[in-house]
Amino acid sequence: MSLLLIALVSLGITGSSTGFLSQFFSNESDPALISGTPQAIRSDEWAVQTAWTISQVEQGLPVENATFPGGSDTTVQSDLPSGDWSVAFRPHLLGFFFLPLDNAMALKWWLPGFAMMAASFLFMMTLIPKRPVTASLISVGFFFAPFFQWWFLPITFWPAAWCFLVMAAALWLLRDNRLGPRVTISTAAGYLTVTMGMGVYVPFIVPAVLTAIAIVAGVVLTDSSSPTAGFVGRLKRITPLLWAGLAAVLVLVLWLFTRAETIGRFLATIYPGQRFEETGGLERDGVVALFGAPVTEGLALANGVPLGGNASEASTFFLLGLFLLVPLIGMLVQDWRAGRPTDGVVVAVIALCMTVGAFLIVPGWDWLAHLLLLDRTTSGRVRIALGILSVVTIAILIARSDDYVARTGRRLPQLGAIGAAFLGALSVVFLLRYLFLRDAGIVSDSWGWQVISVLFVLAIYLFARGLAFWGSISFVVLSLVGSINVNPIYVGVYDLNETKVSQVMQRLDDTKSGAWVGVGESFLPTAVLVHSGLPGYNGFQGAPSPEMWEQIDPEETDEEAWNRLANITWVAGEGDPNPENPAPDQIRMTFDSCSEFAQEQVLYALSDAPLTQDCLDPVATVREGPSQLLIYEVVPRA
């Protein structure tokens, strides 16, 4: 796995969808696209994170990105490389200090996902140490889960990687007396705690943390493999993990304290501000979407509808573990009848699955959900907990199955396997019936969803029967068939600084420097400006810059419209800038070159269509591929 990571980084290969921009600047096929199709819906990646990363590289990796007036703190939002000390805890960003852009982007792209696979493998090997191939296949299959592929960002993978590592660390500390491994794995867990925390995306962090707490509690309460008997003794054995966690929290507190102003401005936004999710808010489409992995191949066809607002929101996991609870519950009953200790980890899995399910569909207990921090996540993002629990369930079932075979010489009972597979098949039938009745375009004409559905049910049966190796093969194949084409295979990233228009802009700025505004109905002016790293007023803002909005709206009459986490674009208009919100995360401003704002603050305007304003002089018209972009200079009004 390490060799594969090195090869991908060395070749500069990513799954970035920045190649989506190529069609607007070239009439030829994109030579950097090896296979697949760049996804427009992956705009969080190609239009935000990658765009701002390129801007950072253009500006020399500053702590304060100078694009917006007043600057933007790069150490909090959008996971950007910078010269700040906190980057030491973001290993996926370290390549920007010594690698070319394409290779650094490849490291950023792959390292979090590979780290998650490694942590998942480590966790499973603590439970099924004699099954390395099976553990590897399950880890790879989990990596290719639709949810991860459609939300492919570091902030998605690090919480899952942290969760698996913490669970593995607890098991190691309980079972291993060697000082070296105990210190190493505890330190790694502490380091990854900081990495996850600095991602600041709470909707993914909370489900992962609750999962880790539940499983570790189950292990400490009942793990009979520990050489130390009793709950208190086992709790003492995991104290290195607790100390590592405390050290990590202190680092995060220091990090938060040193950028308190930025975080304060972010929390004071209208959107998302301090957003809370109510319990029981999941509607019928959402319930169906939870089990929608068998049709993942078709998510792009109808952009996820009706399972979600878009393909990313509709994506989920192959939740084999929910159905494999059937044989595990049977084992709990057998343990009780035989007088054996109850498996606390299985109980923890069941309890957390029920808690997440209740959060999704049972209203009226918001106060408890608030205490558990569940209201800080969303009905779509909380699926990550069920995905992780599914892998945990598979690993526990394999371990229990191997123990059962060793004790009895027989495989797990046929009845439990048939029951689990039947429930899995029922979920597929329920899903397909719902989609066919809705005449949903999400069900493609290809054979993919049929193969996935069969493999899904087969994998459940094989795992439930104790045929772990064949179950893991079925799992990895269905994951690959469903998700391997979600992201393209792309060499490097599509850097708009290599386009003609960006080069003209850079020459103008070298001659006469000033602020830019990108004007037009398309996203192209904003995309070019952000990539360029030139000072301007377009792009995705995290914590709003007081200096910038003082220039645009000195009386703060439109604060409700602009005080938000949102993408800022401009269209031609008259008078002072008039912000509107086409969507909660969109700010569309009007630009009049003769307005007081433009006269005092703006030097250049980049437009995707001719502008007929009295205070603009045309400077250049750049035609490239199918696009035409025009550059104007703002001149004093008569």
> What b/e sequence results for 175-207 when a residue is b if at least 16 CB atoms lie within 10 Å of its CB, and e otherwise?
ebeeeeebeebbbbbbbbbbbbbbbbbbbbbbb
Q: Look at the block and give the residue holding tokens 């009972």.
A: 413
pLDDT digits (tens, 9 = 90+) for 370-381: 999 999 999 999
Residue 227 scores a pLDDT above 70: no
Mean pLDDT (whole number) for 90-108 = 97
> What confidence score (pLDDT) does residue 409 get?
84
> What confidence score (pLDDT) does residue 441 get?
72
Domain residue spans of the chain: 106-489, 496-634
Query: Which tokens in the block code for residue 372?
Result: 């558990």
> What confidence score (pLDDT) does residue 226 get?
62
> For residues 77 and 182, which has the higher predicted lDDT (pLDDT)?
182
Find the helix or strand (DSSP H, E) in which 440 lies: none
| Cα gap 102→392, rounded to integer Å | 36
pLDDT digits (tens, 9 = 90+) for 407-427: 888 888 899 999 999 999 999
Backbone angles phi, psi at 125, to 5 degrees: -70, -25
| 3-state helix/strand/coil string of 417-428 | HHHHHHHHHHHH
Confidence band, pLDDT 50/70/90 cuts, at residue 77: confident
pLDDT digits (tens, 9 = 90+) for 337-365: 888 888 889 999 999 999 999 999 999 99
| Cα gap 81→60, rounded to integer Å | 10
Q: Within 223-343, where are the H helices?
A: 231-237, 239-257, 260-267, 284-290, 311-314, 320-338
Residue 179 scores a pLDDT above 70: yes
| Cα gap 10→95, rounded to integer Å | 11
Mean pLDDT (whole number) for 120-132 = 96
pLDDT digits (tens, 9 = 90+) for 261-299: 999 998 899 888 777 899 999 988 899 999 999 988 888
Mean pLDDT (whole number) for 122-144 = 96
pLDDT digits (tens, 9 = 90+) for 394-408: 999 999 999 888 888
Model-level pTM?
0.95
